[in-house]
Structure 1
Amino acid sequence: MSPKGGGGRGDRLMVPEAEFESYYGKQIIKTPTWKTPDVPLYLFLGGMAGGSALLAEGAALQGLPTLEKVARGAAAAGAGIGTVFLVHDLGRPERFLNMLRVFKPTSPLSVGSFILAPFSAFATAAFGSQVTGWFPRLGRLAGVGAAAFGPPLATYTAALFANTAVPIWHEGHRELPFVFGGSGAAAAGGVAMMLAPAAQSGPAVRMALAGAALDVGALEVMNRRLGMIAEPYEQGFSGRLMKTARALTGAGAGLSLLGALGKRGGKGRRSRVARVAAGAAYVAGSVTLRFGVFEAGLASARDPKYTVVPQKERLAAREAARAASAPS
């Protein structure tokens, strides 16, 4: 019989021969439907608010009333405006309220709702008491409550991202909370550096420097560990955002040191300008980082290689381990 079939009469094939192709070029997981800029701005504001609540409590313990007022105002404003962005992303306010009906410890979104709600209440009450002078003891207790919920608020969104199927977020679950926490501390310190007087801004400068070091260090460790999966943090639009964020954070650290040197040298004006510029750089770096992480996740979801290649590597590793343990 002729290879073309039909008893050697040269019949034409009615369908094309099958072509087998890999997953490459075909999107496998769904791209997150979260809105831009709502979610990145919520991430930034939550981190800044959480760090500011801690800074405010430290200022209260050290007897720095102006720094305390600035930090409490930043915590309350960050929580309030951040909630607006969150509700806008959800589409309807009742969706946020519905999340408070049931507490699910296995859901980062549910846990986050029960962090955001009391933090907002405590931060607002503490700031209101600070400004009006009413109920100082209750205001002080509210400030302690906001400080207790501050670190979870600044980092729970990292757990929320890591709980998705997006490769670059999911695989970065170890370091991402430290990246977000450090970035939030840098932003909180930066806001206070811009608004508080120089005589009371020492704790803000130290918090911003420590946060910047944690942010940059954790991000570097994460990128090295993830290898190929971390490419969106270095390439394309998201890569440019991340590089800009690192540059701004580094500029903030450098200007902080310059301001400290100017202060020691008696150059008050130079010190003040450097401090304000450093604070602005920290804040801008924190904002840009959140957009960079968000955009990197979208890029990671769109390109199937970040899903397929790690799966194949894990499968090959299991097969190699099975072969090594098999009796000869």
Structure 2
Amino acid sequence: MSQTDVRMDGSAEVRTEREATPGSAGPRPLRPETARPEPTSYYGRPVLNEPTWQAPDIAGYLFLGGLAGASSALAAAADLTGRPHLARAAKTGALCALGGSLYSLIHDLGRPGRFLNMLRVFKVTSPMSVGTWLLTAYGPPAGCAAATALTGRLPRLGRTATIGAALTGSAVATYTAALICNTAVPAWHESYQEMPFLFAGSAAAAAGGLGMLAAPTAEAGPARRVALLGAAAECAAALRMERRLGPLAEPLKHSRLLRAGEALSLGGALAGLAFGRRSRIAAAAAGAALLAGSACTRFGIFHAGMGSANDPKYTIQPQRRRLARARAERDLQ
């Protein structure tokens, strides 16, 4: 087109202001930055199916199994250091906790036959299969150790059974961490590095609390030390886990049960160390606090995992981070 306009009087005049013509490439305004949308799913529905586990059964199984295994290890230490009352209390407590954990597991499975069916094979890549065989191997020596301690008969057999229960019990106290971390539940699956240490510390604190509650103060020295080490390990593992997981740790940070568990465990361990040597009442109160703290920790872990499974953002955020990390690694190559 010409750069002039023809006027009605026949003269030509240069247009001072031209309108934009089709095909002109003028500068476009910059699009404002928009925030990245929140991770969501179809109509905000959960991405994962919530596990069918029930809190009284599975959370109770996690707590009682840890208490049983750690108590057997404490009983062996008490036997080797000549503390018969502490050893008897730990062996009896281990057998009772084992019975409770088996009941919780079988009640969740529905019938005892399903537990027995899992013994038909041994699959090393399945935490459930390994755990079933661990419980089966742990039960007889734990029962024998408790029976010989209560009756006072066959002390040599009892000591051998005590050592066997301590070896298998240490695995029983921690394998449940691998069991829940092997699921797709985000708060559990992403915590695989710290969860075994957290479960080991929580189990040790519970076993120490049981020893302080049931044994005389003169023999409860190992129980007090084990409780303090366990509570410290539990809190350190929980703190590291929450820092490493970042936004995914929100269900853990907002869990009142977990906060109560940490407070009870640390408070009970410190009270037992400070006052449990002189006062039987203080030792019993500290032991009860440690047991309650360990139970709160296991139930808090359970409910936090269920909460992360119900919220789609806790499933989508880790996936986005993994994809971004994979793209960054490809760009560097």
User: Is TM (by shorter chain) over 0.5?
Assistant: yes
CA distance in 1, matches of 2:321, 2:195: 23
Give 1:282's match in structure 2, choosing from 283, 290, 306.
290
Judge conservation of contact 2:232–2:266 (CA < 8 Å) in 1: no
Give 1:252's match in structure 2, choosing from 268, 272, 280.
268
CA distance in 1, matches of 2:249, 2:80: 41
- So what's the TM-score if we normalise by structure 1? 0.87
Give 2:172's match in structure 1, choosing from 153, 172, 190.
153
Aligned-residue offset at 1:22: 4.6
Q: Give the share of equivalent positions with the same residue, in percent.
A: 51
Aligned to 2:41: 23
CA distance in 1, matches of 2:158, 2:269: 33
Aligned to 1:74: 93
3-state SS of the aligned residue for 2:120?
A: coil
Q: Name the larger-Rg structure.
A: 2
CA distance in 1, matches of 2:292, 2:181: 24
What code does the residue aligned with 1:190 have? G
Aligned-residue offset at 1:176: 0.2
CA distance in 1, matches of 2:220, 2:285: 14
Equivalences for residues 220-235 of structure 1 within 5 A:
220-235=239-254
Judge conservation of contact 1:79–1:119 (CA < 8 Å) in 2: no
CA distance in 1, matches of 2:135, 2:144: 14
Cα deviation 1:146-197 (Å, max 9, x = unaligned): 0001111011000000100011101100110110111000000101101100
Cα deviation 1:66-92 (Å, max 9, x = unaligned): 111001001111111110111001100
What code does the residue aligned with 2:318 have? P
- So what's the TM-score if we normalise by structure 2? 0.86
Aligned to 2:232: 213
CA distance in 2, matches of 1:153, 1:102: 19
Aligned-residue offset at 1:64: 0.7
Aligned-residue offset at 1:246: 1.1
Judge conservation of contact 1:245–1:289 (CA < 8 Å) in 2: yes
Aligned-residue offset at 1:286: 0.2
Where do 5+ consecutive residues of structure 1 fail to align?
1-20
Where do 5+ consecutive residues of structure 2 fail to align?
1-38
More helix by share: 1
Aligned to 2:305: 297
What code does the residue aligned with 1:211 have? G
Aligned to 1:47: 66
* Aligned residues: CA RMSD: 1.3
Cα deviation 1:21-49 (Å, max 9, x = unaligned): 95172211111111221111111111111
What code does the residue aligned with 1:257 have? L
Equivalences for residues 1-328 of structure 1 within 5 A:
22-23=40-41, 25-235=44-254, 239-259=255-275, 263=277, 268=278, 271-325=279-333
Work out the number of aligned pairs and report it.
294
Give runs of ≥4 in structure 1 deviating > 3 Å. Answer: none
CA distance in 2, matches of 1:254, 1:206: 10
CA distance in 2, matches of 1:104, 1:317: 32
